[in-house]
Amino acid sequence: MSLTATELSEPARVLASRLVRVLREEYKDGLRDRRGVDRLLSLWSLEVEKLPAAEARRLLGAIRPLARGYASMAAGERQHTLVEVGQALGRLAGEAPRGQPSEQAEGPKAGKAQLRLDSKVDYVKGIGPPLAKRLVKLGIWTVEDLLTHYPRRWEDRTQLRPISQARDGVVETVEGKIGNIQSKTPRPGMRIVQATLSDSTGNLQLVWFNQPYVAKQLIPGQKLTATGKVERRFHETQINAPEIETGAERIHSGRIVPVYPSTSNLTQKWWRQQQWRIVPTYSRLLPELLPSQTVSRHGFMPRAEAVTEYHWPSNYDARERARLRLAFEELFMLQLDVGMQRQERERDPRQTFYTQGDLAEFEKLLPFAPTGAQARTMREIWDDLQRDTPMNRLLQGDVGSGKTAVAAFAAWVAVKNGYQAAIMAPTEILADQHYRKFVELMGPAGIQVGRLSGSMKKKEKLSVCEALREHTLDIVVGTHALIQETVDFARLGMVVVDEQHKFGVMQRTVLKQKGLNPDLLVMTATPIPRTLALTLYGDLEVSRLDELPPGRQPILSESVPFSERRRVYEEIRGQIRAGRQAYIICPLVEESENLDATSAVEEASVVQREVFPEFSVGLLHGRMKAAEKDAVMERFRIGEHQILISTTVIEVGVDVPNSTFMLVQDANRFGLAQLHQLRGRVGRGQHASRCVFMGDANSEEGQRRLRAIARLADGFDVAEEDLQIRGPGDFYGFRQSGFPELKVADLLKDQELLDLVRVAVRELLARDPDLSGHPDLRDSLSKRRVDSTELVH
Ligand code: ADP
Ligand code: MG
């Protein structure tokens, strides 16, 4: 094959990367061809033929034959086909071809450390800039990042299996002598290398597709170990693409071997070879962070040893002890951070004082009577305001439970007592909507409400800023724009952060710093189990709106396959004829983003032209200008558009009670929490609402999600199911909440450990409140804080 690196035009490059994405998904899905690679490829080829440049058509046109007949290939062949196509595409896109990793690993012992922990991985022997670039995708920049790039799992290859006992379908390690080596070319473009491996009990075939260089590495009579999945067919036993290892040193076999999270064709063999050298050498440079009392009390192994054992366990018991130590340390840093913040908070007493705030008076402003849960939460807030230290309260309430009214109460009390309030929302649409509501609610009481968002004209922004400084504005509602340096308040006493899981910890802190040690109310529809909340937010008090406003009808949810599209459209028609409105949600903005998911732009034109020519269809997505978004939202709000086709930009907060129908297209592409948030856009008024999740789930997990969302109505149940399906590592909200990713600890399984950690942190802070006796620990903690600040800006 002789495709050379070429300058491809932009459309051709886009096409190439679309195919890469499809192939990658196929790979991740276990080469099961459930979405029909042949079909996708022929669709793709049609696009290729439309390319204007003949050269690009020729180059991309050469790709398809490489994978023709995918459906009828065996798994091993599929894998090699994908790799081959991927490499060909990579060459087209001008990517440097992957260098073969060196076959010789250095010793298992620690070598001489030439670099520092914070040295860039570019300088690590055997990595270099091109590979370093790929490692960035895994969040690896420095030597220290490599050390903490822990295995995803381990394979027990301590047992070498006699060849005659190698089990079909199982990954086994066998040891033997190489016999006959053959190279075949069964059809153009396919080379097969096959070698016989035998031991005293029998023999099997080692097979490689399109890796001709393997033939050169093999020597008849050579002794080696081979690891891979055994396939028994007819009378033959074979291992496809085995990992082989020669020589005395065992890195890939004869031990418990690590399996690393990987990317971009970096093989496990490559990973092991790197980590075999790096881990013992550089883990010695890691400072001991845990106080010595803690280490000895729990009988922990030293940090360097724990890191080494976790990568390269001498046995499973040692690995578990290493894991405990590393998990303890992770949770310890987390709790220490929270503990230090609490200390700081408590050192700073309240500077605002509340005497006025009659709940009955506020209620008069509301167009409805508060629910029991809303009233209780408002009283809790009032009580917080009477304490010596500022309020730090988390309000959890399912979508539609009425958090905005509670936020309005907090802001109103602040204003009543002569302070200003700031409300921060994650999107402009939501900020706008809150602004409107606050004006409606507070205007009659003579309270001045302003708005600040990134898309406003500079002049408008300046005048809002001035009004805040002069205290001619009482309340400001805005987006991230609120935390900019130019925004100053005269007397900021209350900060409310809506949908706080969309913000980082630092953003909250920055906004708070603009005030008189203000009270803080953060709100979220993401229910978090209490123990997790404690870890995440330390000493936040938690209120729950566990009651929906009266008169709500349950949202009838259903998951349906694409084939029922017509019926769903008819249902939408019926709703609109009855005076209601509908949302249609699509995962993407434009068709070009993916081969087989519906895009909002395309969908809007099809739905308007072919499905609902009699109605007005609006389109909303994240790439539109703020003013355009506002205009569309407004037309939908006042009922000019009957249907709104949107991406997930409307996921949070949007409130148009007359919209009672939601159709989520490609629902299998969304996470459970996101589906629940989306569904929360309907069922907000007096009319019965419907939500239809349409999609053909192509994985078991996807199916489980679709079933769950149709069955579960309550946010807490959804959260629980999400936790079950995904595991806490991916539990939604964590990443966005500025919560550092846990590499070893598991917040659900390590609850007991967490209790021990809390005790240890409390004792340490009692002994050494500013950590002056633990400089390494203090440095490491402040470095973590710097890291999370960088994420925010
Ligand atoms: P969320 O908790 O999702 O932010 P909102 O504050 O947007 O919910 O409230 C959802 C809808 O319910 C809004 O239309 C709001 O006006 C209405 N609502 C809130 N509280 C009550 C109540 N006590 N009685 C009737 N309607 C209410
Ligand atoms: Mg809300």
Mutate to test the pocket of ligand 1, among 555, 655, 656 (most ligand atoms within 8 A of CB): 655
Q: Relative to the alpha carbon of 395, which ligand is closest? A: 1
Q: What is the DSSP letter of 689?
A: E
The residue whose C-alpha atom lies closest to atom 26 belonging to ligand 1 is: 549
Give the pair of three-digit tokens for residue 677: 């948030």
- Strand locations in 414-534 (E): 420-424, 449-452, 475-478, 492-497, 519-524
Strands 171-187 and 190-199 come out as antiparallel
pTM of the predicted model as reported, rounded to 2 decimal places: 0.60
Quote the ligand 2 centre to 489 CA distance (angstroms): 25
Q: Relative to the alpha carbon of 655, which ligand is closest? A: 1
Q: Relative to the alpha carbon of 423, which ligand is closest? A: 2
Mutate to test the pocket of ligand 1, among 401, 434, 553, 652 (most ligand atoms within 8 A of CB): 401
Quote the ligand 2 centre to 437 CA distance (angstroms): 11
Quote the ligand 2 centre to 697 CA distance (angstroms): 30
Mutate to test the pocket of ligand 1, among 524, 684, 714 (most ligand atoms within 8 A of CB): 684
Quote the ligand 2 centre to 684 CA distance (angstroms): 11
Quote the ligand 1 centre to 404 CA distance (angstroms): 7
| Contact by Cβ (8 Å): 272, 149 | no
Q: Relative to the alpha carbon of 397, which ligand is closest? A: 1
Q: Which atom of ligand 1 is nearest to the CA of 397?
A: 2
Quote the ligand 2 centre to 679 CA distance (angstroms): 13
Q: Relative to the alpha carbon of 430, which ligand is closest? A: 2
Q: Which atom of ligand 1 is nearest to the CA of 680?
A: 3
> For the residues of 243-266, what is the DSSP string, one character each?
EEE-SS--SSSSSEEEE----TT-
| Contact by Cβ (8 Å): 183, 196 | no
| Contact by Cβ (8 Å): 519, 352 | yes
The one-letter amino acid at 125:
K
d(CA 435, CA 478): 8
> For the residues of 119-136, what is the DSSP string, one character each?
SBGGGSTTTHHHHHHHHH
Quote the ligand 1 centre to 403 CA distance (angstroms): 7
Quote the ligand 1 centre to 402 CA distance (angstroms): 4
Which pLDDT does position 210 carry in this prediction?
Answer: 85
The residue whose C-alpha atom lies closest to atom 27 belonging to ligand 1 is: 549
pLDDT one-digit tens code per residue, 584-626: 998 877 666 565 667 888 888 888 999 999 999 999 988 888 8
Quote the ligand 2 centre to 742 CA distance (angstroms): 29
Which pLDDT does position 653 carry in this prediction?
Answer: 63
The residue whose C-alpha atom lies closest to atom 17 belonging to ligand 1 is: 402
Give every residue of the chain whose pLDDT is below 50, as ranges: 1-6, 94-108, 729-738, 786-793
Which pLDDT does position 129 carry in this prediction?
Answer: 84
Q: Which atom of ligand 1 is nearest to the CA of 374?
A: 23
The residue whose C-alpha atom lies closest to atom 5 belonging to ligand 1 is: 402
Residue among 742, 718, 719 at smallest CA distance from 731: 719
Give the pair of three-digit tokens for residue 224: 């080696």
Q: Relative to the alpha carbon of 683, which ligand is closest? A: 1
The residue whose C-alpha atom lies closest to atom 19 belonging to ligand 1 is: 402
C-alpha distances out from residue 549 to 370, 372, 373, 660, 689, Å: 8, 9, 9, 16, 15
Angle at 397 between CA 396 and CA 398, to 5 degrees: 130
Quote the ligand 1 centre to 405 CA distance (angstroms): 7
C-alpha distances out from residue 790 to 391, 513, 785, Å: 27, 18, 9
d(CA 206, CA 228): 9
Ligand 1 surroundings by CB, under 6 angstroms: 368, 370-371, 374, 397, 399-405, 525, 549, 655, 657, 680, 684
The residue whose C-alpha atom lies closest to atom 18 belonging to ligand 1 is: 402
Q: Which atom of ligand 1 is nearest to the CA of 405?
A: 6
Q: Relative to the alpha carbon of 684, which ligand is closest? A: 1
Residue among 780, 773, 733 at smallest CA distance from 528: 733
d(CA 63, CA 782): 51
Q: Which atom of ligand 1 is nearest to the CA of 371?
A: 23
Residue among 88, 94, 91, 83 at smallest CA distance from 23: 83
Which pLDDT does position 347 carry in this prediction?
Answer: 82
Neighbours of 605 (CB within 10 A): 13
d(CA 311, CA 322): 9
| Largest Cα span, the chain | 94
Quote the ligand 1 centre to 421 CA distance (angstroms): 20
Q: Which atom of ligand 1 is nearest to the CA of 545?
A: 2
Quote the ligand 2 centre to 402 CA distance (angstroms): 7
Quote the ligand 1 centre to 407 CA distance (angstroms): 11
Residue among 355, 694, 373, 341 at smallest CA distance from 535: 341
Q: Which atom of ligand 1 is nearest to the CA of 402?
A: 6
Mutate to test the pocket of ligand 1, among 359, 368, 399 (most ligand atoms within 8 A of CB): 368
The residue whose C-alpha atom lies closest to atom 23 belonging to ligand 1 is: 370
Q: Which atom of ligand 1 is nearest to the CA of 398?
A: 2
d(CA 222, CA 617): 71
Is residue 302 classed as helix, strand or coil in its secondary structure? coil
Residues 6+ apart with CB under 8 A from 483: 424, 507, 510, 511, 514
d(CA 388, CA 68): 73
Residue with tokens 């001709």: 212
- Per-residue burial over 489-525, b = 16 or more CB atoms within 10 Å of its CB, e = otherwise: bebbbbbbbbbbbbbbbbbbbbbbebbbbbbbbbbbb
Which pLDDT does position 88 carry in this prediction?
Answer: 76
d(CA 7, CA 11): 12
Quote the ligand 2 centre to 339 CA distance (angstroms): 30
Quote the ligand 1 centre to 368 CA distance (angstroms): 9
- Per-residue burial over 656-681, b = 16 or more CB atoms within 10 Å of its CB, e = otherwise: bbbbbbbbbbbbbbbebbbbbbbbbb
Q: Which atom of ligand 1 is nearest to the CA of 370?
A: 23
Instruction: Determine the angle formed by the axes of helices 672-679 and 700-711, rounding to 10 degrees.
Output: 30
